[in-house]
Amino acid sequence: MSMISGWGGSIRGLFNDNKGPWGSAEPGDSGEEPPRSPWGQSAKGPRPVPGDPNRSSLDDFLRRGRARFGGGGLPGRPDGSLIGWGLAAVAALWLVLSSMHVIAPSERGVVTQFGRYAYTLGPGVGLTLPWPIHDVQKVDVENIRIVDLGSANSEDLMLTGDQNIIDIAYSVRWSISQPELYLFELARPQETIRQVAESAMRAVVSRVTLDEAIGDKRSDIEGQVAQVMQQILNQYHAGVTIRGIAIKQADPPQAVNDAFKDVSAAQQDAQRYRNAANAYAQQLTAKAQGEATAFDKVYEQYKLSPEVTRRRMYYETMERVLSKVPKTIVESQTGVVPYLPLPAVKAQPAPNPGAAQ
């Protein structure tokens, strides 16, 4: 209030007296108290302050302002030193959080300086300049990502080398090898990989026949597609590594799929019969080779003692033949017996041909 009244007195003094901006210089000219300045002091001079005669009202006003806005304090207002320490703690925390970065073993940290690529941080704790000077984007380089193309419910038709149509569904496994290229060289990396995979698959399928595509050539097709994709992506500087291609479905179009299945079943049956015939032929060949080897061994023994070997072969042959038929021995004197009584034969005298005559 004193300051407002001082400003009012000063304005009145400007219009009532031309001696100065604060009114009359002498206090007894008009019988009124001399006007006060806007800072609450008399125009005649500074108002005395107890304890300090040289201290002006301006100094006193500034002192009261400092005490009110942080120096001495109203209830509920923090002290100025606490505010300073709080700001310093916030600044230190901001520096630590924006300058220190923990990179996992499977990650890489791409550092940009004002939005422009600067360098790449490896696994561990990395230090950079605080944000917004440096910014770090973490990229997982070990995660295997999968892109599915084609589907069992929708036809993705391709033309084979023998002018047939095939419906194929497959998936692409890929990972990030160079994160700085992956982030800044391609606008839409996943869409680019999808289009490159479709183009590479069509190029490889166009060089094989339908039977090879739906038969035992799938692994060769997968390897060729992965190789073609890697070459194209390297030309694009995509920073991507193709981990593999997996063909999940390779069938003729739905309209003729049943007929192709019957043909495939007949081909499989024919192959099975050929395999069975080859196995039987190999078995007979092995048996014949074994018999020939045994005969060679017998012939070697025959050359050493021909008579003994001949008799032994005769006995073995007769034994093998007679063992399978009933045996009957006919004797002229005693009749017919179904067996050979060896003791009785040994006891009887040998017949004399001359006596019979």
pLDDT at 357: 45
- Which run of H or of E encompasses 159? strand 157-159
pLDDT at 324: 76
pLDDT at 351: 59
Q: Which residues have C-beta within 8 Å of that of residue 96, sequence separation ≥ 6?
A: none
CA distance 200 to 217: 16
Is the distance from CB of 205 to CB of 158 less than 8 angstroms? yes
| Residue ranges covered by each domain of the chain | 97-139, 145-254, 258-312
pLDDT at 267: 84
pLDDT at 21: 43
Structure tokens that stand for 230 in this block: 């890697």
Exposed / middle / buried, residue 244 (Cβ in 10 Å: 0-12, 13-18, 19+): middle
Is the distance from CB of 110 to CB of 137 less than 8 angstroms? yes
Q: Which residues have C-beta within 8 Å of that of residue 17, sequence separation ≥ 6?
A: 23, 24
Per-residue pLDDT of the chain (357 residues; tens, 9 = 90+): 444 444 444 445 444 444 444 444 444 444 445 555 444 444 445 454 454 555 556 667 666 766 665 554 444 445 557 887 888 788 778 877 778 888 888 888 888 888 888 888 888 888 888 888 888 888 888 888 999 887 655 667 888 888 888 888 899 999 999 999 999 988 898 999 999 999 999 999 999 988 888 877 888 999 999 999 999 999 999 999 999 999 988 888 777 777 777 877 888 899 999 999 999 999 999 999 998 998 888 888 788 888 888 888 888 888 888 777 776 665 556 555 555 555 555 555 655 655 444
Structure tokens that stand for 229 in this block: 């994709």
The residue behind tokens 């100025």 is 80
CATH topology of domain 145-254: Tetrahydropterin Synthase; Chain A (3.30.479)
Output phi, psi for 117, to 5 deg.
-60, 135
pLDDT at 255: 74
Output phi, psi for 112, to 5 deg.
-115, 140
pTM over 0.75: no
Structure tokens that stand for 1 in this block: 């209030």
SS3 112: strand
pLDDT at 135: 86
pLDDT at 58: 63
pLDDT at 330: 59
The residue behind tokens 């060289």 is 185
pLDDT at 243: 93
pLDDT at 211: 81
